[in-house]
């Protein structure tokens, strides 16, 4: 459970930093009148804060799975899986999807609607390819006899890739909505309605943040599956004991 | 050190993002698929209270079995374990969590913060429907072959998914699925509660001006968002073990002579995951209760809450600390015994901020102007039961004292007192307090007093003696106490006494339900602010507040929520949206 | 002013109940008097706090009840009072925690001269295994569990040859000798609980747990299961007999002879089966 505690410690640190900017040492009964919060008090759009909180929740979910993984890893019946080569390609696809969204974000800043549409479609295709790639990996492994129930390492592999895949699918739903919005937006009209364009831009930014998060989570999971993290745990255990 | 600009003249309009309001077009979107947080709050509350009544009736059956073993032929051992499991899970998750966060959170957060609604109303609506679906799945498990699971509300593997436990075929699967749906639904609601506090506060509503109710619900929501994933992971893994034959939690097992195809798993791993959720869950229920009771006491004692800053810091400290105490539920679980030192220390440290809260409630009464209204009575009873249950927590948290007491009736008495009776008394107090805001009418006072006395004294008489059964060595989760040399005949009589009290207390709740329904039409008209309270929900232009809560303009906040009996003020309370009065600063010594 | 009266009654009544009610722990039969002492310390500290808070509340409600013209004081906080209360609370907590941790350290440190016995929980009965003359318990594994080997003993382990296995019989323990109890389960969680011993510990399938005690009083005590283990949980009973060393030795000797006779019998039957084939 050390891993999830470390993750929580980071979250608590962020919360403590935020609270420290909120004048929680002040004496409210002496402060009668309008307190105008500094403009920096709520700098971000609500949706972004919402996504941030959600990512904290999803982060805890993955940190807990990894904690469980590290505890179960110590049992004697653990036979690590071979790393299918396809996983490297999938990782590349996810990196491309993430990069495509970052590029789209830049395009949306320059108000290049064609670029935005192109970037969104590209990100969607790369992500879809990643999901399909993951399914192919599952099939390959099953074909080679690495069944879910035959070993805890397999079980954790399917569980964690599955959880990650579900998060990717959820992201795809949001991405498709943003893409529709991008195609519905009229380039000429868009300038006249800042609200609609603002929503599109916000949507792209949210997708980009979420994809970067998915990428980071995937890289950590991949490191676990590939066995590099095992050495890391071993070092941690030696340091702790 | 007043470095804040005083005066209200010439302030620019609020720069808070105005929430896009969804305007209902039909009866269906107004009352059923509503996106108004207040309607969702009522939906949550009514559902949770109904489940509470069912869970209460399950407890009657259990108590009857314990008092008169075998008298009710339809309660065999299997049925008994199904009853305790469903009673526990319903009460902890589907009643208390849902009522405090989904019910009170939805109703009070936007109103108290001067917001029009939650920030994501659509997700808020979905949250309730997911909750309802989870409830339906849970109740459906009564109808499936084999009935609901009887694994105990802790659902410990291996016995949750091996023979010898009722509900092995379907019940356990339905339970896990229902919990997962609940968690997904809660996450949507919880995001709303948290982000609304972060972003939805009206102009001038700084964090340190929020009522403690909001602080409590906010902190509890943050904790719930971070704690429920642990239960989610545990549920997924146990479903895998049950349905797909993995061995996350399942070691080598001989089940009634036959070797099961499991091996190598760790039952302790599940316990860690479960209590990583389960302990914060205690405070997820307690913190909103702390916040609400602070406001009840302050309003009805006509005095500012004593030590507001300490109260806020204590809530935050308890919230953070509650994530590093979970293994005090596992002192005798067989985990590494050296963990005991760490977790006993953290557990007893958390008693300090909790004690500070108790002192401050009592010190708010001190030099107050105490009106013994029904909400106040419930708040006082909360202090009694919470202090009692909290102090017995010091027994169980102190690792070696827990050794003889764990898994006995002492534990049952302790957690019922501290997270059953105490928070439920707050729920009742809060219902009597805010019912007039939600309906425009007051609940009947004579019925309320009757309900209060029977509930408080009855519940105390149920659970206080129960501690001593545990001290004597009666284990919990026994279908019948049975005969051993150490139980005197009087212990059986005590069991009967407890059952009689439980039936009485349960019956008194029907009076409360009657009061809720009867007062809808026949209650005394309340007006907008019957308790003469300061916080914003009582300052709405219309009561009950319509969709959008406040009129054309959102209120501007000029002060904290506890300006009662300020020297020099014309009345004994100053609403939060009241601009500064002449001469009121004189009585506020720094 | 019913409330004031009731609060005083609750405080006084709870204390009277504590001292006068017939329900109290059973006389101790092990060395864990320390645990009882820690509980008593905790009772005193928490009892004082409980009564003090309730009586102070009752006083406040009576003294500051609403009357015409009465006004509440405006006092947002009192740092000295709050700090003082926090410090006192901290001291009270430390007074409970320190002995608790001290005794816990004692509890988890098995004395080197303790002899090991094994207790196995199965749905829903207790089995026991005592080392023979060599004082060592043999290896076991779940794979070896069979009808004629209910605890899964490794027959090839010389340390296990003379182990005494008891099923459906009382466990006997000698008085005054420290004993390390090793706990094992073959199916679900159980918890070996003898109220007179105070000590208890969960039993996990897949790994073993332990605790230790020294019996200090002769007699027969009931064994209960204290961790939900399925439908038969309340009926998972047994007895433990604590007796003087001489009586214990005689009993152990009898058990050993029975074991040997049993093994011979099994061998003979197997031989007969083989002969018939």
Q: 3-class DSSP state for residue A23?
A: coil
Most A CBs within 10 Å, among B14, B208, B239, B242, to test the A interface: B208
Give CA–CA dist B104/B38, Å, rounded: 9
Give CA–CA dist C160/C132, Å, rounded: 8
Could you identify the residue written with the tokens 């949770």?
Answer: B48
Name which of B164, B333, B398 is nearest C97 (Cβ-Cβ).
B398
Residue B474: predicted pLDDT: 93
Q: Nearest chain A Cα to B313, which residue?
A: A24
Residue B412 tokens, joined: 């049952």
Residue B445 tokens, joined: 């006072």
Could you identify the residue written with the tokens 């506090």?
Answer: B197
Domain boundaries, chain C: 2-65+75-108, 115-276
Instruction: Say whether C77 and B358 touch across the interface (CB within 8 A).
Output: no
Residue B540: predicted pLDDT: 93
Contact in structure between B61 and B86 (CB atoms under 8 Å): no
Q: For residue C175, give how far its alpha carbon lies from the nearest alpha carbon of chain B (Å).
A: 20
Residue A236 tokens, joined: 């941690």
Numbers of helices and strands, H then E, in chain C: 4, 10
Residues of B in contact with A22 (CB under 8 A): 206-208
How many alpha carbons lie under 13 Å from residue C143 in its C-beta half-sphere?
A: 5
Looking at residues C131-155, what average pLDDT do you find?
82
DSSP conformation letters of B359-371: HHHHHHHTT--B-
Residue B137: predicted pLDDT: 97
- Domains belonging to chain B, first-starting first, are 32-251+262-539 (1.20.210.10)
DSSP conformation letters of B185-201: HHHHHHHHHHHHHHH--
Residue A181: predicted pLDDT: 87
Nearest alpha-carbon partner for B219 in B116, B87, B357? B357
Q: For residue A23, give how far its alpha carbon lies from the nearest alpha carbon of chain B (Å).
A: 8
Most B CBs within 10 Å, among A21, A57, A241, to test the B interface: A57
CA B255 to chain centre: 38
Residue A38: predicted pLDDT: 63
Residue C87: predicted pLDDT: 96
Contact in structure between B275 and B326 (CB atoms under 8 Å): yes
Nearest alpha-carbon partner for B182 in B75, B97, B290, B269? B97
Please state, in angstroms and as integers, the Cα–Cα distance from residue C118 to each residue in B518, C127, C137, C182, C192, following that order. Answer: 63, 8, 8, 5, 11
Instruction: Say whether B208 and A24 touch across the interface (CB within 8 A).
Output: yes
Instruction: Say whether C23 and B265 touch across the interface (CB within 8 A).
Output: no
Tell me the sheet residues that pair with C183: C119, C209
DSSP state of C146: B
Residue B229: predicted pLDDT: 95
Cα Rg, chain B, nearest whole Å: 24
Q: To which H or E segment does residue B254 belong?
A: strand B254-255
The tens digit of pLDDT for each residue in A45-84 reads: 889 999 999 999 999 999 999 999 988 887 778 888 888 8
DSSP conformation letters of C236-256: --EEEEEE-HHHHHHHHHHHH
End-to-end CA distance of chain B: 8
Residue A237 has pLDDT above 80, yes or no: no
Nearest alpha-carbon partner for B476 in C24, C226, C26, C125? C226
Contact in structure between B309 and A27 (CB atoms under 8 Å): yes
Residue A158: predicted pLDDT: 94
Residue B23: predicted pLDDT: 63
Give CA–CA dist C209/B409, Å, rounded: 24
Name which of A24, A57, A71 is nearest B226 (Cβ-Cβ).
A57
Please state, in angstroms and as integers, the Cα–Cα distance from residue B586 to each residue in A34, B527, B561, C72, following that order. Answer: 18, 32, 19, 17
Cβ–Cβ contact B449 with C under 8 A: no
Q: For residue A25, give how far its alpha carbon lies from the nearest alpha carbon of chain B (Å).
A: 7
Cβ–Cβ contact A206 with B under 8 A: no
Residue C206: predicted pLDDT: 87
Contact in structure between C215 and C172 (CB atoms under 8 Å): no
Give CA–CA dist C198/C29, Å, rounded: 8
Instruction: Say whether A54 and B191 touch across the interface (CB within 8 A).
Output: yes
Give CA–CA dist A154/A77, Å, rounded: 11
Give CA–CA dist A77/A51, Å, rounded: 39
Q: For residue B402, give how far its alpha carbon lies from the nearest alpha carbon of chain C (Å).
A: 9
Residue B179 tokens, joined: 């919990």
Name which of B162, B303, B351 is nearest C93 (Cβ-Cβ).
B351
Residue B1: predicted pLDDT: 31
CB atoms within 10 A of CB A238: 8
Q: For residue C108, give how far its alpha carbon lies from the nearest alpha carbon of chain B (Å).
A: 7
Alpha-carbon torsion, ordered B104, B107, B108, B114, to 10 deg: 170
Give CA–CA dist C191/C185, Å, rounded: 10
Contact in structure between C211 and B399 (CB atoms under 8 Å): no
Instruction: Say whether C187 and B408 touch across the interface (CB within 8 A).
Output: no
| Cβ contacts of A102 within 8 Å, gap of 6 or more | A208, A212
Cβ–Cβ contact B491 with C under 8 A: yes
All chains having 3 or more CB pairs closer than 8 angstroms to chain A: B
If contacts are CB pairs under 8 Å, which of residues 25-54 in chain A contact chain B?
Answer: 25-37, 42, 45-46, 49-50, 53-54
| Residue A240's pLDDT band (cuts 50, 70, 90) | low
Each residue's pLDDT expressed in tens, for chain B with a length of 590 residues = 333 333 333 333 343 444 455 566 677 777 788 889 999 999 999 999 999 999 999 999 999 999 999 889 899 999 999 999 999 999 999 999 999 999 999 999 999 999 999 999 999 999 999 999 999 999 999 999 999 999 999 999 999 999 889 999 999 999 999 999 999 999 999 999 999 999 989 989 999 999 999 999 999 999 999 999 999 999 999 999 999 999 999 998 888 778 888 888 899 999 999 999 999 999 999 999 999 999 999 999 999 999 999 999 999 999 999 999 999 999 998 888 899 999 999 999 999 999 999 999 999 999 999 999 999 999 999 999 999 999 999 999 999 999 999 999 999 999 999 999 999 999 999 999 999 999 999 999 999 999 999 999 999 999 999 999 999 999 999 999 888 888 999 999 999 999 999 999 999 999 999 999 999 999 999 989 999 999 999 999 998 998 888 888 889 999 999 999 998 888 889 999 999 988 888 878 76
Tell me the sheet residues that pair with B259: B254
Instruction: Say whether C24 and B488 touch across the interface (CB within 8 A).
Output: no
Q: 3-class DSSP state for residue C72?
A: coil
CA B577 to chain centre: 30
Q: 3-class DSSP state for residue C125?
A: strand
Instruction: Say whether A56 and B273 touch across the interface (CB within 8 A).
Output: no
Contact in structure between B502 and B466 (CB atoms under 8 Å): no
Range of lowest pLDDT (A75-79, A169-173, B563-567, C25-29): A75-79
What is the CA angle A21-B299-B564, rounded to 5? 75
Give CA–CA dist C241/C166, Å, rounded: 13
Give CA–CA dist B284/B379, Å, rounded: 18
Cβ–Cβ contact A159 with B under 8 A: yes
If contacts are CB pairs under 8 Å, which of residues 127-156 in chain A contact chain B?
Answer: 148-149, 152, 155
* CATH classification code of C115-276: 2.60.40.420
Instruction: Say whether B345 and C34 touch across the interface (CB within 8 A).
Output: no
- Between C259 and B327, residue with greater pLDDT: B327
Say what the ipTM of the complex is.
0.94
All chains having 3 or more CB pairs closer than 8 angstroms to chain C: B
Residue C152: predicted pLDDT: 83
Instruction: Say whether C23 and B307 touch across the interface (CB within 8 A).
Output: no
If contacts are CB pairs under 8 Å, which of residues 52-81 in chain A contact chain B?
Answer: 53-54, 56-58, 60-61, 64-65, 68, 71-72, 75-78
Q: 3-class DSSP state for residue B575?
A: coil
Contact in structure between A8 and B222 (CB atoms under 8 Å): no
Q: For the whole model, what pTM was predicted?
A: 0.94
Name which of B369, B407, B472 is nearest C25 (Cβ-Cβ).
B472
Instruction: Say whether A64 and B194 touch across the interface (CB within 8 A).
Output: no
Instruction: Say whether B558 and A75 touch across the interface (CB within 8 A).
Output: no
CB-defined contacts B:C, below 8 A: 324
């Amino acid at each position: 459970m050390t891993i999830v505690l470390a993750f929580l410690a980071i979250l608590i640190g962020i919360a403590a930093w935020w609270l420290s900017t909120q004048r929680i040492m002040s004496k409210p009964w002496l402060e009668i009148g309008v307190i105008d919060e500094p403009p920096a008090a709520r700098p971000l759009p609500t949706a972004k804060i919402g996504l941030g909180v959600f990512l904290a929740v999803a982060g805890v979910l993955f940190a807990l799975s990894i904690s469980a993984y590290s505890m179960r890893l110590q049992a004697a019946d653990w036979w690590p899986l071979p790393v299918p080569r396809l996983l490297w390609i999938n990782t590349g696809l996810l990196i491309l999807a993430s990069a495509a969204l970052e590029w789209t974000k830049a395009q949306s800043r320059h108000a290049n609607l064609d670029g935005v549409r192109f970037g969104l479609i590209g990100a969607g295709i790369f992500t879809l390819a990643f999901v399909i790639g993951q399914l192919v990996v599952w099939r390959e492994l099953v074909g080679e006899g690495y069944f879910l129930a035959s070993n805890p390492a397999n079980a954790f592999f399917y569980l964690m890739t599955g959880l990650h895949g579900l998060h990717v699918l959820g992201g795809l739903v949001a991405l498709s909505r943003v893409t529709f919005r991008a195609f519905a937006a009229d380039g000429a009209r868009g300038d006249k309605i800042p609200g609609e364009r603002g929503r599109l831009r916000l949507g792209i930014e949210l997708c980009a943040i979420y994809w970067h998060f998915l990428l980071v989570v995937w890289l950590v999971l991949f490191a676990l599956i590939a066995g590099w993290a095992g050495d890391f745990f071993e070092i941690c255990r030696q340091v702790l004991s | 050190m007043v470095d804040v600009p005083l005066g209200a003249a010439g302030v620019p309009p609020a720069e808070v993002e105005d929430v896009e309001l969804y305007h209902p077009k039909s009866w269906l979107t107004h009352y059923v698929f509503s996106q108004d947080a207040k309607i969702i709050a009522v939906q949550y509350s009514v559902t949770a209270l109904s489940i509470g009544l069912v869970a209460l009736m399950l407890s009657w059956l259990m108590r009857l079995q314990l008092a008169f073993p075998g008298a009710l032929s339809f309660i065999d051992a299997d049925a008994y374990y199904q009853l305790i499991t469903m009673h526990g899970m319903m009460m902890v998750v589907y009643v208390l969590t849902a009522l405090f966060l989904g019910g009170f959170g939805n109703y009070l957060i936007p109103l108290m913060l001067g917001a029009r609604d939650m920030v994501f109303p659509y997700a808020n609506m979905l949250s309730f429907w997911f909750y309802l679906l989870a409830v339906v799945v849970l109740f459906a498990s009564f109808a499936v072959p084999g009935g609901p699971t009887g694994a105990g509300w802790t659902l410990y593997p291996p016995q949750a998914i091996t023979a010898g436990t009722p509900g092995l075929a379907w019940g356990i699967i339905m339970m896990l699925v229902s919990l997962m749906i609940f968690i997904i639904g809660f996450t949507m609601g919880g995001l709303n509660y948290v982000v609304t506090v972060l972003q939805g506060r009206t102009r001038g509503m700084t964090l340190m001006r929020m009522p403690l109710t909001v602080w409590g619900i906010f902190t509890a929501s943050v904790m719930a968002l971070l704690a429920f994933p642990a239960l989610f992971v545990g549920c997924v893994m146990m479903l895998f073990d049950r349905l797909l034959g993995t061995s996350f939690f399942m070691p080598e097992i001989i089940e009634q002579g036959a070797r099961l195809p499991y091996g190598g798993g760790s039952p302790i791993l599940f316990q860690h995951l479960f209590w990583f959720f389960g302990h914060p869950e205690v405070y997820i229920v307690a913190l909103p209760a702390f916040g609400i009771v602070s406001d009840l006491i302050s309003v009805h004692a006509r005095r500012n809450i004593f030590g507001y800053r300490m109260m806020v810091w204590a809530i935050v400290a308890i919230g953070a600390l509650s994530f590093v105490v979970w293994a005090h539920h596992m002192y005798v679980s067989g985990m590494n015994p050296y963990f005991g030192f760490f977790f006993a220390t953290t557990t007893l440290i958390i008693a300090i901020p909790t004690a500070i809260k108790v002192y401050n409630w009592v010190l708010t009464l001190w030099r107050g102007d105490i009106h013994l209204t029904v909400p106040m009575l419930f708040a006082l009873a909360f202090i009694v039961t919470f202090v009692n249950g909290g102090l017995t927590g010091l027994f169980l948290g102190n690792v070696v004292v827990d050794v003889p007491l764990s898994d006995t009736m002492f534990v049952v008495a302790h957690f019922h007192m501290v997270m059953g009776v105490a928070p439920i008394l707050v729920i009742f107090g809060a219902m009597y307090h805010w019912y007039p805001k939600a309906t425009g009418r007051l609940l009947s006072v004579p019925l309320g007093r009757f309900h209060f006395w029977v509930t408080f004294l009855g519940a105390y008489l149920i659970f206080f003696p129960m501690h001593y059964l545990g001290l004597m060595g009666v284990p919990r989760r026994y279908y019948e106490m049975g005969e051993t040399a150490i139980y005197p005949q009087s212990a059986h009589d005590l069991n009967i006494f407890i059952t009689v009290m439980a039936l009485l207390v349960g019956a008194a709740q029907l009076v409360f339900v009657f009061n809720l329904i009867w007062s809808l039409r026949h209650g005394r008209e309340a007006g907008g602010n019957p308790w003469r309270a300061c916080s914003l929900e009582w300052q709405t232009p219309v009561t009950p507040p319509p969709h959008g809560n406040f009129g054309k303009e959102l209120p501007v906040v000029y002060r904290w929520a506890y300006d009662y009996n300020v020297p020099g003020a014309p009345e004994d309370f100053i609403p939060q949206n009241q601009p500064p009065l002449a001469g009121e600063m004189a009585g506020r010594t720094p | 002013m019913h409330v004031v009266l009731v609060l005083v009654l609750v405080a006084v009544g709870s204390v009277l109940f504590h001292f006068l009610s017939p329900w109290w722990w059973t006389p101790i039969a092990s060395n864990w008097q320390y645990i009882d002492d820690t509980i008593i310390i905790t009772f005193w500290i928490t009892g004082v706090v409980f009564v003090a808070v309730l009586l102070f509340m009752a006083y406040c409600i009576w003294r500051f009840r609403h009357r015409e013209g009465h006004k509440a004081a405006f006092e947002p906080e009192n740092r000295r009072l709050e700090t003082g209360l926090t410090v006192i609370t901290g001291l009270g907590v430390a007074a409970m925690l320190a002995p608790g941790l001290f005794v816990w350290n004692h509890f988890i440190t098995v004395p080197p001269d303790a002899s090991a016995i094994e207790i196995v929980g199965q749905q829903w009965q207790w089995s026991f295994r005592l080392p023979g003359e060599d004082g060592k318990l043999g290896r076991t594994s779940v794979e070896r569990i069979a009808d004629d080997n209910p605890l899964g003993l490794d027959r090839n382990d010389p340390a296990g040859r003379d182990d005494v296995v008891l099923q459906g019989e009382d466990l006997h323990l000698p008085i005054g000798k420290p004993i390390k109890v090793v706990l094992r389960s073959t199916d679900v969680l159980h918890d070996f609980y003898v109220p007179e011993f105070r000590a208890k510990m969960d039993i996990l399938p897949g790994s073993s747990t332990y605790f230790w005690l020294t019996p200090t009083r002769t007699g027969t005590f009931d064994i209960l299961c204290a961790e939900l283990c399925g439908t038969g949980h309340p009926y998972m009973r047994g007895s433990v007999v604590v007796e003087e060393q001489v009586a214990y030795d005689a009993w152990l000797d009898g058990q050993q002879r029975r074991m040997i006779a049993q093994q011979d019998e099994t061998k003979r039957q197997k031989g007969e089966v083989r002969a018939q084939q």
